[in-house]
Amino acid sequence: MVRPTMEDVALRAGVSRALVSLVMRGSPKVSEMRRSAVLKAAEELGYSPHAMARSLASRTSTVLGVMVSDLHNAFFAEVVDGIDEVARERGFDIIINTGGRSPARERRALESLLSFRPAGLVLLSPVVPATAIGKAAEQLPIVLVARSSRLSTVDTVNDDGETGARLAVDHLVSLGHKRIAHLDGGEGSQAGPRRRGYVAAMEAHGLVPQVVSSEYTDTAGARAIRSLLADDALPTAILSCNDFNAVGAISALEDAGLHVPHDVSVVGYDNTSLAALRHVSLTTIDQPRAEFGRLAADALLQRVREERTEPVRHLLNPSLVVRTTTAPPGGPR
């Protein structure tokens, strides 16, 4: 269980440690003869460089840290894909860590990530207080995804929830709907912009907004529908705050003997894999998740290379994905 060091490789190849170092870093100023001798020795010994010692000595790092607030959410997996893609392209490795949606755990995750002295950090929808982020940002470049910030030291990448909500409303209106309710996400992140976008779009069409308080879960969506039914205030179309909420809403509608989209059209938000299931086939708003990741990694690397010190605020455009839960009022069952 003891790994060979550069010294061992040097000894075996009959060269100096410094030369092995040059070979390992792919320096051009090494003769072909020595290079192959060194590589051969390394191969035979099963040597691979010690990233920490390297980073310690060079005072640089080729590692990007990624803090994922919730590993259970596939949304983040796709963002990580984007980060990973760009990072690998530029010769950086990523290490991931999770905060489990708890500020305390997240704090520890952050601390742990920091202790590796990565070149920079991407925080995916962090729940720690802004001050903690600001403090970390004094030590290394930080990019926030799916969370906004006024800190001038951090970059942010977000989707434009107002636009997304507007797209959904426009779609429903173009199908002929006039009574469109929004089941909102309460305090949930991004719930604000979505609600504002919905209200603005409704007003732009000369329609009356109807915001129903709800949450980002399927049970909350079902509950909201039941309350609408009880109040006899059911609209012809529903814009849910996210896909889970929408699925819950659909289920409550069907329980009540109503048909989607014949009686009520439903639009989700996020385009999760759930929405794509043929059993669900939900019309929804898609966010360019991998693009989030790519932009985040890109912004981070710009800071790492000190190519930029001004903060960047990316606001990406969501898009509408039409499936089978929307139709003109009275349309197909």
Task: By CB under 7 A, name the binding residues for DNA.
Answer: 5-7, 15-19, 21-22, 24-25, 28-31, 33-34, 47, 49-50, 53-54, 56-60
Q: Does 11 bind a second copy (CB under 8 A)?
A: no
Q: Residue 22: which of DNA, a second copy, none does it interact with, CB under 5 to 8 A by kind?
A: DNA
Q: Which of residues 92-131 bind a second copy (CB under 8 A)?
A: 93-98, 100, 108, 111-112, 114-117
Q: Which residues contact 263 (CB under 8 A, 6 or more apart)?
A: 236, 253
Q: Does 84 bind a second copy (CB under 8 A)?
A: yes
Half-sphere exposure (Cβ direction) of 250: Cα atoms closer than 13 Å: 25
CB 205 → a second copy: shortest distance, Å? 30
Interface with a second copy (CB under 8 A), residue from 18, 52, 204, 208: 52
Is residue 141 within 8 Å of 295, Cβ to Cβ? no
Is residue 5 within 8 Å of 50, Cβ to Cβ? yes
Distance (Å, whole) CA 165 – CA 318? 9
Distance (Å, whole) CA 6 – CA 25? 12
Interface with a second copy (CB under 8 A), residue from 13, 133, 140, 295: 140
CB 117 → a second copy: shortest distance, Å? 6
Is residue 267 within 8 Å of 198, Cβ to Cβ? no
CB 33 → DNA: shortest distance, Å? 6
Transcribe 271-333 into DSSP letters: --HHHHSTTT--BEEE--HHHHHHHHHHHHHHHHTTS--S--EEEEPPEEE--SS--STT---
Q: Does 25 bind a second copy (CB under 8 A)?
A: no
CB 106 → DNA: shortest distance, Å? 23
CB 52 → a second copy: shortest distance, Å? 4
Q: Residue 7: which of a second copy, DNA, none does it interact with, CB under 5 to 8 A by kind?
A: DNA
Among the residue ranges 25-33, 91-99, 166-174, 193-201, the one whose residues contact a second copy (CB under 8 A): 91-99
Query: Cα-flanking dihedrals φ and ψ of residue 276, to 5°?
Result: -80, -15
Q: Does 250 bind a second copy (CB under 8 A)?
A: yes
Token digits of residue 48? 């691979």
